[in-house]
Structure formats: structure tokens, C-alpha cells
């Protein structure tokens, strides 16, 4: 017996996977994609292919929209008949966008008489469907409640609050950490190459220290939240000298020094502001200014 109905709009790799999960869970699934060919295998598996976005929206009381960007999403939701089909409908929008875009989309959906949930997935398609798969969501509690059963098929939704921009903000924040660590890793790889060491071995070592570094950042997050920068684990003054040495090494060896010089500048600015004898997390006070 089928659990309920849901529509999936956008059948890229992630959208296709979400539709597969719903079908496997026994849901009555309607799908739409700009290119009908993307729906062929899903239709064979039991999905119904809508001919227009409006038809897909009208087929269910809840849907998930996941396309290239917000411009594509706006084009879909303003296509013929779509605004009317949004009335009394819950739209879960998992397209990557900015906090401002999320607020604008929420206003559009609400004005059309619908309910809106904005979300961000931080996993690959093959990782979807597990209880621990992280899905950040935000939006009105009533909208979240009506979409919860569907989202639990996809993973573990974490409702961050009623302001629609919150999921995107958390996505941007965590990705800032990921990209910051990634480019730092790449700079480290250049150090390894220059010294004739194994980049593969370096990657293995980084993997091994990652859990303990994650615990350190968790602690620093608590420090920032508390506002008490009394030294507890890592004095900021240690990072002043460390980043200076790394940046100087890059210059001495003819490496691109832009990454370590950025870190060096931030800690030097923190020193100039009088934070050297505080916890390393005090560097955020420089970023705030």
C-alpha cells in the first residue's frame, strides 16, 4: 500500500535519486524534468511523468524542487499554471542558493498561497536515504511538519528555524569551512611536492588527524558562542608565529603564498587589536570588525 503522494521536479543526479527513494518507500510519485528523457527509468519503476510543472504540482500536496539554480526554479514556478497550482501546496526547495534568494522564494510561494521549506543537502546522491544523511531545512513550522514524512525518506532533516534563509546560511557556513580546509590542503600538497615527499601519504595523515581537529573546532565554536575568550586550549599568540613561518616558507621556496599570507594577516591583525593572550577563537573579533 502506498504511503502518500509526492512530486519531484528536476531530475538531475540528485533529483533522480530522491525520486528513486520515494518509489522504493512505496510513495505515489509524479516527476517532471525539462528533458523528458530523464524520467524514462523512473516511469518504468512506477513514477508518473507530468507534462508540465503545473501538472506535477497539482498531482501532490507536497513536492521537492531541485534544479540548477534559483533562476531555473523561478522559471519553473512562474510557468503556465504553476502559480495557481502552488495554492495549498508545500514546496520543499533543495536547489542551492543564497539566504537572500531563499527569502525571496519564500515570499513568492507564500503570496501564491503555498507553504515553503528551504533546504540544503550536504551529501552525494549515493549517500541519500540514510537516517544520518544531513539535510538542513528552514521555514515555517507548519510547512516543515507537512513535509517531514517525505524528507525522512531522503535522510535526517535538521530544522534550523522558521526563517527561510537559515538553511542556506548554515550551508554557506559549513561550505566555507570545507573550502577553507580544502585550499589549505592544496597549499600543503605544494609544500609536500616541493620537499619531495608523498602527497598520498600526506593525504592519509590529514585523514587521521581530521577527527581530533574537528573536536578542536567544536570547542572553538563553544568559545565563540559563550563570548569568553579566556585561554582554554590554544593561545592565539601561537598561531601568530606559526602562520608567519608558513607564509615565509612559501615565499622562500617560491610557492604561491596567498593562502598562508591571508592567515598570517588575520592573526597579525588580532595581535594588533590586543587579542594575542586570548583563545585562538578571538580571531573572529577581527572578522567582525
User: Would the pLDDT of 153 be above 90?
Assistant: yes
Q: Where are the domains of the chain?
A: 5-162, 198-288
pLDDT for 3 equals 55
Q: What is the mean pLDDT of residues 1-6?
A: 70
Cβ distance 155 to 135 under 8 Å? yes
Mean pLDDT of the chain: 96
Q: For residue 38, give the 3-state DSSP assignment.
A: helix
Q: What is the mean pLDDT of residues 2-14?
A: 89
Residue pLDDT, tens place only, 17-53: 999 999 999 999 999 999 999 999 999 999 999 999 9
Q: What is the mean pLDDT of residues 84-102?
A: 97
Helix (H) or strand (E) holding 58: helix 53-58
Q: What percent of the chain has pLDDT over 90?
A: 98
Residue pLDDT, tens place only, 156-183: 999 999 999 999 999 999 999 999 999 9
Cβ distance 122 to 128 under 8 Å? no
pLDDT for 237 equals 97
Task: Find how far residue 33's CA is from the centre of its chain.
Answer: 23
pLDDT for 1 equals 34
Distance between CA 174 and CA 221 in Å, rounded? 12
> CB under 8 Å, gap of 24 or more: what pairs does 240-249 form?
240/267, 240/268, 240/270, 240/271, 240/276, 243/267, 244/268, 249/191
User: Would the pLDDT of 249 be above 60?
Assistant: yes
Is 198-288 a CATH 1.10.1040.10 domain?
yes
Global pTM?
0.90
pLDDT for 2 equals 44
pLDDT for 155 equals 97
Q: What is the mean pLDDT of residues 256-278?
A: 98
For the structural domain made of 5-162, what CATH number should be given?
3.40.50.720
Amino acid at each position: 500500500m502506498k504511503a502518500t503522494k509526492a512530486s519531484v521536479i528536476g531530475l538531475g543526479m540528485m533529483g533522480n535519486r530522491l525520486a528513486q527513494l520515494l518509489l522504493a518507500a512505496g510513495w505515489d510519485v509524479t516527476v517532471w524534468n525539462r528533458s523528458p528523457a530523464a524520467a524514462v527509468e523512473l516511469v518504468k519503476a512506477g513514477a508518473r511523468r507530468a507534462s508540465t510543472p503545473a501538472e506535477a504540482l497539482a498531482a501532490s500536496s507536497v513536492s521537492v524542487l531541485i534544479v540548477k539554480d534559483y533562476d531555473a526554479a523561478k522559471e519553473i514556478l512562474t510557468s503556465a499554471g504553476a502559480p495557481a497550482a502552488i495554492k495549498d501546496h508545500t514546496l520543499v526547495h533543495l536547489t542551492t542558493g543564497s539566504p537572500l534568494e531563499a527569502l525571496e522564494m519564500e515570499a513568492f510561494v507564500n503570496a501564491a498561497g503555498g507553504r515553503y521549506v528551504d533546504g540544503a543537502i550536504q551529501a552525494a546522491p549515493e549517500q541519500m536515504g540514510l537516517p544520518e544523511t544531513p539535510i538542513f531545512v528552514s521555514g515555517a513550522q507548519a510547512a516543515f511538519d507537512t513535509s517531514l514524512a517525505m524528507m525522512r525518506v531522503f535522510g535526517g532533516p535538521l530544522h534550523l528555524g522558521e526563517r527561510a534563509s537559515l538553511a542556506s546560511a548554515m550551508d554557506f557556513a559549513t561550505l566555507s569551512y570545507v573550502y577553507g580546509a580544502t585550499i589549505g590542503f592544496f597549499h600543503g600538497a605544494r609544500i609536500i611536492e616541493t620537499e619531495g615527499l608523498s602527497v598520498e601519504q600526506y593525504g592519509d595523515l590529514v585523514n587521521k588527524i581530521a577527527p581530533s581537529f574537528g573536536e578542536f573546532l567544536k570547542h572553538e565554536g563553544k568559545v565563540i558562542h559563550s563570548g569568553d575568550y579566556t585561554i582554554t586550549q590554544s593561545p592565539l599568540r601561537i598561531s601568530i608565529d606559526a602562520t608567519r613561518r608558513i607564509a615565509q616558507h612559501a615565499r622562500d621556496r617560491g610557492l604561491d603564498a596567498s593562502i598562508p599570507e591571508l592567515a598570517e594577516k588575520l592573526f597579525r591583525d588580532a595581535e594588533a587589536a590586543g587579542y594575542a593572550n586570548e583563545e585562538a577563537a578571538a580571531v573572529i573579533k577581527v572578522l567582525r570588525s
